[in-house]
Structure 1
């Protein structure tokens, strides 16, 4: 295979997916978003598996990656619907935190252009788990989360298509070797 093959493209896409997934994982940890943390962790493991399968010419691993890419696209569509409050979903629910904390998206308090209101000192006990409200955000946190998910969908879709192509090339090469 040449350098500009589907295999090289899949290696690039998997690497890019790892970088974007790690970035997303950091912000989910900062917001104590436990369900997305678990989903992104599984995503990172499967992308590494797909990367390994691509480098080592293992079509079965690439098929696992392709199936996961379809599931990942579905998950991110759900996240977009959740943050844009489509179909009765509410971004203010505790669905993504397993009801363990009052935290929400990290972007809610730290979004682009947001000004944080610090609570006045000495007005009573402060709850360290309570989110601090932000005002004047340039971009609402739901849109930031939706943009993150849109990027994940686009990369996963390209990865799915590329993985299907690479698997077909690998199996074609195996078939031609068996016929000789």
Structure 2
């Protein structure tokens, strides 16, 4: 009963992680955030691997999933520190795009209540002017939306790690129990024919 409950819970958690990761991947693509896109892609692959291992009773796949969840927590902690500008980090740098573009989070201009306007630069230079983006009226700042996304991922990863360890321990106990029973069966199988043949070879004396 415990195995079934833990296994079903882990399947539910993997499914929930998969859905939230796909949602996050879409918005990271819209914002051209290449580092999170790569991380989300690896995360989705490992989730599918862990889901397969849980359904097919493959503890090795679940071990890979549990190790990755620890790395995933560390990555999301870094993202939180990045957007909250902890430890000298700045959300205005191009770390998330590998310094190959100046794109920012999609939520910066499209958050709840945000009004996006293109305004001219302070000094005009004729036809070569570049428009600047002005964003006002946001109900929640984009960095806090990113922090909430990462916090949700950390929560799901921690709960998934706990249940993955539990399911691995249960699977290991069942495998050890199965090998023990199989060993007894093989012993009986190899030795019972000898006893039978010994009985058959006994001489039989008939009374006259």
1:168 to 1:2, Cα distance in 2 relative to 1, 3 A = closer
Give the superposed CA RMSD.
Answer: 1.9
Q: Secondary structure at the match of 1:159?
A: helix
Residue 99 of structure 2 is matched in structure 1 by 99
Q: Secondary structure at the match of 2:11?
A: helix
Q: Residues 79 and 146 of structure 1 are in contact (CA less than 8 Å); yes or no, is this contact kept in structure 2? A: yes
In 2, the alpha carbon distance for the partners of 1:91 and 1:142 equals 8
Residue 163 of structure 1 is matched in structure 2 by 164
Residues 118-161 of structure 1 deviation map (CA, whole Å, 9 limit, x = unaligned): 347xx74587xx88331121111000000000000000001000
In 2, the alpha carbon distance for the partners of 1:116 and 1:178 equals 65
Q: Residues 119 and 134 of structure 2 are in contact (CA less than 8 Å); yes or no, is this contact kept in structure 1? A: no
Where do 4+ consecutive residues of structure 1 move more than 6 Å?
Answer: none
Q: Which structure has the larger Rg over C-alpha atoms?
A: 2
Taking the TM superposition and a 5 Å limit, the aligned residue runs for 1:1-180 are: 1=1, 5-119=5-119, 124=127, 132-180=133-181
1:125 to 1:112, Cα distance in 2 relative to 1, 3 A = farther
Bigger relative contact order (CA 8 A; separation at least 6): 1
Shift of residue 3, structure 1, vs aligned partner = 8.6
Q: How many residues align?
A: 176
1:76 to 1:135, Cα distance in 2 relative to 1, 3 A = same
Q: Secondary structure at the match of 1:48?
A: helix
Q: Residues 25 and 40 of structure 2 are in contact (CA less than 8 Å); yes or no, is this contact kept in structure 1? A: yes
Which one is further off, 130-139 or 57-66? 130-139
Q: Residues 66 and 164 of structure 2 are in contact (CA less than 8 Å); yes or no, is this contact kept in structure 1? A: yes
Q: Secondary structure at the match of 1:85?
A: coil
Q: Residues 109 and 131 of structure 1 are in contact (CA less than 8 Å); yes or no, is this contact kept in structure 2? A: no
Unaligned runs of 5+ residues in structure 1 are none
